[in-house]
Chain A
């Protein structure tokens, strides 16, 4: 295997959960790559499928009766096709995961040390003493002071930041090649968030692992990620290297995410613009472009046509799934970046307003409509 082959390649991954109300299309055909020693940021609102796709990488959606299709190639093996036992050998060993809430993610009745020792001994044939020494070493590595004493404490005796450090230590127990971090800083204080991100960056440098950073916070990925994938309703709607994405985001949803958070460079007069509406139900998804009911720039045929992820002309590695023409998107973003409201940007570019009603509810697919190849043009 050559060194520039991706460490993880997810191909057309679909994850569906059958429920009493219908099939939940949690992940709907996503493709992405994670390269060795690099960080991919997966961004999206709750329910966009970002966590489910990562849990599926570890096979953790199998118990919930998920039906999974597509391929997840990790280091040359397809994880989707592996048996439970084969997956277990990879879980916590070559791929490790840390979660959002470190308090609820640590077992309340076991000492932090015991949980670390367990993580080591699942995959390594070492004595309890050796595993304990490793546990203390790991706690030191993640910056917990006095680790030989703290190793015998319970999770409730740790502070929030320390618990997340302990979780990270547990994930690193077997020096994984890939670390999946699912909202690792969301439950923490802002000051602690920065420390945890800095810690992850340092560990990535020292241990040479790849990271998948799942978050709803573009600020976090701006700091950490080399590449970014934006997910909406189970699909990737935009993907690009971080620099490219922040320089010229191409999808109205990404614009919405960017304009709904305050930034240091924006002037005080600039109002934050929330994305209207709520994420769609993954059982009855909107027809056409799934984002059209919430999109300021949706046109009538966007409720009909399902956009595909397409390369942005002249921008390397930048893909966007949007029915607006690339030059229209570019002009819209230029207006928005200059501080225009979405309505104003729309008027300047000369787009008609979306028909009323589309902004609120989801529309059902019209009968007999065949999803066509995306046609662009106003």
Chain B
């Protein structure tokens, strides 16, 4: 098991280097705005632009640039400086990370609780009106774009512009350390919006998986033992039906950590997604590379964690 994890980690590092190389090449080869020109502002003389290009190291050959970048990461965990704000990328990312973590982890709790419970209820009453209503709602939520759901939520419930002012609206985010109560209320709407689509997918997933499990022979055995229907479903049924969820939840959280751009933008939450979004509009390569690398890191780690958890959940799974 330990050897398996070490091997997976080494592969993960290789993968991250490949991702860095790819983003490095992508943003330099594909036509984007010239960062030197953007930085020069109104003083757009070729000389100044050339100077800026030299200062940023953009006049060096691509391979040399990449080599320097990688050296920085491996030797000093240095992700470079933002072209736009001149601050270290590492610092910018770590400043923004708590907001994104708050949004995504809170959202994950919401979508897990909502998805799993709705899925169980639907499966237990498969074919009933309640089941059809929940699955219909799920279909709507899966199809609804989150920026649209976000705007809708703000339009109806935001305390400043909403028809029924209920919850703090866009731009109300405060860090957990500053004011826990405000942190919580300001995130309620973003959590619901970010969780809606995933909760709907999980509800359908759990429903299908539980329905399948309840037809298994070992469920009949559990009933034949004289267990209550409640423990048959929740202990024996759910124990198996939850497995596909565990597989996706890690990846879903990881993906969202790197790409909560839309919800962060709609609710004006200063997170990684927003950082990334502004960086792209400014051709701020170091930040783009930093955030992409971070997103890739989340996914690599999530995959390994999921595999390890899976081995604990299913005793038949053995890694070597």
Contact = CB atoms under 8 A, between A and B. Distances in A.
Interface of A: 55, 58, 60, 63, 84, 88-93, 96-97, 99, 101, 104-111, 118-119, 122-123, 154, 156, 167, 170
A23 B7 CA distance: 58
Given A101-B217, A104-B218, A108-B218, A91 B315 contact: no
Contacts of A63: 223, 229
Contact of B227 (A99, A101, A122, A170): A122
Given A154-B316, A156-B315, A105 B218 contact: yes
Given A109-B240, A156-B316, A122 B225 contact: yes
Contacts of B217: 99, 101, 104-105
A122 B226 contact: yes
Nearest to B316: A156
12 contacts: A91-B225, A104-B216, A104-B218, A107-B221, A107-B239, A108-B315, A108-B316, A109-B314, A118-B225, A122-B225, A156-B315, A170-B221
B221 A60 contact: no
Interface string B289-320: 00000000000000000000000011110000
A92 B226 contact: yes
A58 B229 CA distance: 14
A154 B315 contact: yes
5 residue pairs, one from A and one from B, having the closest CB atoms: A92-B226, A91-B226, A92-B225, A104-B217, A107-B218
B238 to A, nearest CB: 11
A89 B226 contact: yes
B220 A170 contact: no
Contact of B225 (A101, A119, A154): A119
Contact of A123 (B222, B226, B313, B316): B226
A247 to B, nearest CB: 36
Given A107-B221, A107-B239, 18 more contacts: A88-B227, A91-B223, A91-B224, A96-B224, A99-B217, A105-B218, A106-B221, A107-B236, A108-B315, A109-B239, A109-B315, A118-B225, A122-B226, A154-B315, A156-B315, A156-B316, A167-B221, A170-B221
Given A104-B217, A105-B221, A108-B218, A93 B239 contact: no
A30 to B, nearest CB: 21
Contacts of B228: 88
Contacts of B218: 104-108
B226 A99 contact: no
Nearest to B227: A122
A63 B221 CA distance: 14
Given A104-B216, A109-B240, A109-B314, A170 B222 contact: no
B223 A60 contact: yes
A118 B217 CA distance: 17
Interface in B125-167: none
B220 A105 contact: yes
Nearest to A84: B229
A84 B216 CA distance: 21
Interface string B270-306: 0000000000000000000000000000000000000
A93 B224 CA distance: 9
A92 B216 contact: no
Interface in B199-225: 216-218, 220-225
A89 B226 CA distance: 6
Contacts of B239: 107, 109-110
A225 B239 CA distance: 39
B226 A60 contact: no
Nearest to A58: B224
Nearest to A85: B228
A84 B223 CA distance: 11
A122 B224 CA distance: 11
